Amino acid sequence: MMELVTGSVFYELALLLAVAAGIGLVGHALRQPLIVSFIIVGIVVGPAGLDVIQSSEPVEMLAQLGIALLLFLVGIKLDVKLVQSLGLVSLMTGLGQVAFTSIIGYFICLALGLDPLTSLYVAVALTFSSTIIIVKLLSDKREIDSLHGRIALGFLIVQDIVVVLAMIVLSALGVGGQDGAGAQEIVTVLVAGIGMVALVAVFIRFIANPLTGMLASSPELLITFSIAMAAMFAAIGDIFGVGKELGGLLAGVALASTPYREAISARLAPLRDFLLLFFFVALGAQLDLSLIGQNIPAAAVLSAFVLIGNPLIVVVIMGVMGYRRRTGFLAGLTVAQISEFSLIFMAMGLAIGHVSEQALGLVTLVGLITIGASTYMITYSHRLYPLVEPLLAPFERRNIRPAESQDGEAAQARHDIILFGLGRYGGAIAQRLLSRGISTLGTDFNPAAVRLWREKGLDAIYGDLTDQEFITHLPLSGAKWVISTASDRDIGIMAEDSRIAMIRTLRKHGYTGRIAVTSQRGAHIDELKAAGADLVLQPFQDAADQAVDFITGRERGEPVRLEPVPEDDQREIAE
């Protein structure tokens, strides 16, 4: 049977995809990113496992296309306006984390016995975090729009820019390090690089918008063109010696200023993930399990540095800038892993001849450990924080930034109602309370929502109802009601019910007023009332009840007797 499989490229790929689907399903059940599953797939089907991939050329070709597409999607996000809009905290945290991680990591690698060049490569690889994984986890937890989520996304963009610069340097070093490569070859590469950048500038200025506007009438053609751009620029970059990676990146930059970049990015993301399967399979197939075994002690030390040191670096930098330790901790957890770019970076170093397969295996093992562990750390971040909160006290300044402070004028004033959540439902409640002259303090973990309410002249502060410290600093003594519009839809499978946690915190700190919480499904009403909720709001049920009251005339004092539907009509409806 195995001989039959290995006798055909199609059969090999079919078996590869079947194994990937099976291992991916197990990884999904364990809540692990696909990167971990794909690397394990490579080990299983590679020489160290089943050894079914005898035709390496198709896998290698698809892997290269996947890398080109990955860099293309990075480039399409690097709009000049986006880069200019990065906040100071994102810029300083991103650059500071990269600098400190690489410097400290370099000396750790030297202490572990690695040579200086390998230490430099490994240290730089440890600085990169996976934007794909972080965005997925924050989206699942509905924390993309939170303060720490926005800061994290900002410094992840900074990291992506550093990745680009590092790969450009590697491409130049690769040409300069070739046997017999002289000044002429290096100049040729530099000229080619400048020429490609100039071509992209001309394309952006005169061609990008009109061309994509015509192609957009056929979405399929627009996507085909985008893939062709990525592949062609990658090929041109490879021909002239600047590398497929830089070519794919420039192709993305060429389309970054068009109004269709988000649509292109969204449609190509699944294809990118599929093609990256082959990169990680090829990577896993190259790993020597005996070398991995030798790397376990070093990988354990470096993984501990990434899991603990990287978040701590972010906490320190954000603390110096005036952010609370909780915000720094939650943002810092997003850099507690290395990324797919770390592996690509090391693979480029291996191709150039700067590092050995053992170094690539070391970083891959660190990736498996840190990605797997950080996934659970981010998922359980709100439960993990109370355990480490006392240890983080030295890193928080007394003068907290205004966006972080709970002791501003709004938070100190007395209010009849304290409302958690200023979204559509919470905002509607706030407007009606204010229209009736009831003093209301609104809180939300989305800075944009807080800013919008402040622009309307209303009292609103930034805060998270899962933060016990935040709740205890609110002006609870004068509040008659505390209302939470967070529903069971906002509660992840792995997370604690934030509504029950809020109720317990309020009662624990002596709040004697009334508490109202929201439930969309109505499945936890008894639990919420048992925990101490005085009122459980059910938006859809409440609206339906009021609609029926209007229909039946109860609200107008006009009782209406609804006639039963005749049996013949019932039978006709059923049929």
DSSP string, 148-200: HHHHHHHHHHHHHHHHHHHHHHHHHHHHHTSTT--HHHHHHHHHHHHHHHHHH
Strand partners of residue 441: 418
Identify which of 480, 477, 483, 447 has the alpha carbon closest to the alpha carbon of residue 465.
483
Q: Are 247 and 239 in contact (CB under 8 A)?
A: no
**Any residues with CB less than 8 A from the CB of 515 and at least 6 apart, and which?**
481, 482, 483, 484, 503, 506, 532, 533, 534, 535
- Which ranges in the chain are annotated with CATH 3.40.50.720? 409-537
Q: Are 391 and 328 in contact (CB under 8 A)?
A: no
Identify which of 420, 416, 382 has the alpha carbon closest to the alpha carbon of residue 518.
420
Side-chain-side CA neighbours of 21 within 13 Å: the count stands at 6
Cα distances (Å, whole numbers) of residue 456 to 401, 409, 449, 452, 500: 22, 16, 11, 7, 31
Q: Are 520 and 487 in contact (CB under 8 A)?
A: yes
The pLDDT value recorded for residue 303 is 93
The pLDDT value recorded for residue 109 is 94
Q: pLDDT below 50 — which residues of the chain?
A: 1, 179-182, 405-409, 411, 490-495, 559-565, 569-575
Four-CA torsion 390, 395, 400, 405, nearest 10 degrees: -30
31 phi-psi bin (left φ>0, alpha ψ -120 to 50, beta other):
left
Alpha-carbon gap, residue 71 to 65, rounded angstroms = 10
- Residue 295 one-letter amino acid: N
Q: CA 311, 316, 320, 323 torsion: positive or negative?
A: positive
Strand partners of residue 518: 537
C-alpha distance across the termini of the chain, in Å: 54
Q: Specify the CATH superfamily of domain 409-537.
A: NAD(P)-binding Rossmann-like Domain (3.40.50.720)
- Which ranges in the chain are annotated with CATH 1.20.1530.20? 2-53+68-395
Return the residue matching tokens 């770390």: 342
The pLDDT value recorded for residue 7 is 59
Token digits for 496?
A: 């604690």
Q: Which residues of 396-406 are buried (b: 16+ CB within 10 A; e: fewer)?
A: beeebbebbbb
Alpha-carbon gap, residue 413 to 429, rounded angstroms = 20
- Residue 65 one-letter amino acid: L
pTM (two decimals): 0.68
Question: How far from the centroid of its chain's Cα atoms is residue 498's Cα?
Answer: 22
The pLDDT value recorded for residue 560 is 43
**Any residues with CB less than 8 A from the CB of 502 and at least 6 apart, and which?**
420, 465, 466, 471, 482, 484, 517
The pLDDT value recorded for residue 563 is 46
Token digits for 42?
A: 């490579």
Q: Which residues of 173-191 are buried (b: 16+ CB within 10 A; e: fewer)?
A: ebbeeeeeeeeeeeeebee
Angle at 190 between CA 205 and CA 186, to 5 degrees: 165
The pLDDT value recorded for residue 166 is 80
| CB atoms near residue 34 (< 10 Å) | 21
**Any residues with CB less than 8 A from the CB of 374 and at least 6 apart, and which?**
307, 333, 336, 337
SS3 394: helix
| CB atoms near residue 123 (< 10 Å) | 22
| CB atoms near residue 353 (< 10 Å) | 11
The pLDDT value recorded for residue 407 is 38
Angle at 115 between CA 110 and CA 116, to 5 degrees: 75
The CATH code of the domain at 2-53+68-395 is 1.20.1530.20
Token digits for 20?
A: 């990937």
Q: Are 399 and 51 in contact (CB under 8 A)?
A: no
